[in-house]
Amino acid sequence: MEFVASLTRSASELNTMLELWNQHGDERKPFRNIMITPLFMPKSGMKVIEKWREQDIIENLYFDSGGFYVQMGRINYLDLYTELLKLYRKQHWADWYILPDNVPTSGDSEQTTWNKVRDTAEYGRMFFHELPPQIQQKAIPVVHGFTSEQAEYSLDAATQLETGYLGFGSFSTSGKSSSINKLTASTYMLLSQIIGKVRDSGFRFHAFGVSTPPVLHILRNLNIFSFDSIGWMKTAGFGKVYMPYIRAYNITYKDKSAQTITQYEFDEMKAITGHNCYFCQSFRDLHEKRFHRIMHNLHVIMDMIYKPYNSETIEYILNRYSPAYASIIKGCQ
């Protein structure tokens, strides 16, 4: 499974992360696959991405459509369509181009969800045929829907474009402006169903905007080809840290409503998971420094992708620290 780091950030943050990884990282390459939203990327950040591309730091560059910004109310869907088409026609240096999608949220009514599913299908088809052939070959249509009927309608429209690479973005949502994606048992079953329908046709699937380590384990079991995440960075900003196969826990104690862990509990997690990176050697630094938490979380994502764990260890960790996700797996087997 391929990790795609979502990095629509400023130059200073991009440069700091690369510098810290190179100083204290390892041979794994967390910035090998990058996703940016060019319509909303700071100009300084775009210059850094161009430089990284020239230096072969980036091997696969994904241009995201910006559907998340429609969801957040920053732009309406039709304006996104127009502006994105202009940009994609000019910018030919990315490896993959996400087609414009209108993201449904858990708070939407059934009719609103259907409207967004149809928007994504119909406008996505129109958008695809307005692209130059060299970009069509790199397009990724998006599948949306919360019910089997909605998802199958969307899947049928997406597969007709015959791009070979599809994305799924209809996870359950929570938080402010429904900006946090969650994997529920119903989403698991729906995703398993649509992947099964096209598996023999050779389509690859990308999962949009997922983050926590237990979810990555579940996606791997579903044979997801790739996923993008900015959760490792956003979670750190909220004072939270990951550990392999363990949901995020708060270690700054500033948010009284968040579930927190002590240094003793964190050290216990390190012993059980075998995780140990430069950025979590000092609990005090991890507690006080956002970039230490960012880079630690990034190391954990790399462990989830590249470090082998036996099934008994994984089951024990999930049952002890992430029982909700363990229940999803057991309930859907």
User: Nearest-CA neighbor of 63 among 49, 76, 51?
Assistant: 49
Average pLDDT over all residues of the chain:
92
Task: Give the integer Cα–Cα distance in Å for 182 and 115.
Answer: 22
User: Nearest-CA neighbor of 326 among 187, 218, 243, 209?
Assistant: 218
Q: What is the pLDDT of residue 172?
A: 74
Query: 269-280: per-residue pLDDT in tens?
Result: 999 999 999 999
**pLDDT cut 90: percent of the chain above it:** 80
Q: What is the pLDDT of residue 182?
A: 76
Where do we find the tokens 């994305």? Answer: 167
User: What beta strand segments (E) does 27-91 contain?
Assistant: 33-36, 60-63
Assign 234 a pLDDT band (cuts: 50, 70, 90): very high
Where do we find the tokens 């969650």? Answer: 182
Q: What is the pLDDT of residue 131?
A: 98
Mean pLDDT, residues 22-43 taken together: 94
Say what the pTM is. Answer: 0.94
Q: Which uninterrupted H or E stretch holds 149?
A: helix 148-159
Mean pLDDT, residues 109-134 taken together: 96
**Beta-carbon count within 10 A of 158 CB:** 29
Rg from Cα positions in the chain: 20
Query: 138-157: per-residue pLDDT in tens?
Result: 999 999 999 999 999 999 99
Higher-confidence residue of 256 and 7: namely 7
Cα separations in angstroms, 180 against 3, 234, 240: 18, 10, 15
Indicate the residue type of 213: P
The alpha carbon dihedral of 166, 172, 176, 177 has a sign of positive
Assign 327 a pLDDT band (cuts: 50, 70, 90): confident
- Domains of the chain by range and CATH? 2-229 (3.20.20.105), 240-332 (no CATH)
Cβ atoms 225, 7 nearer than 8 A: no
Task: Give the integer Cα–Cα distance in Å for 159 and 176.
Answer: 33
Q: What is the pLDDT of residue 333?
A: 54
Mean pLDDT, residues 189-206 taken together: 91
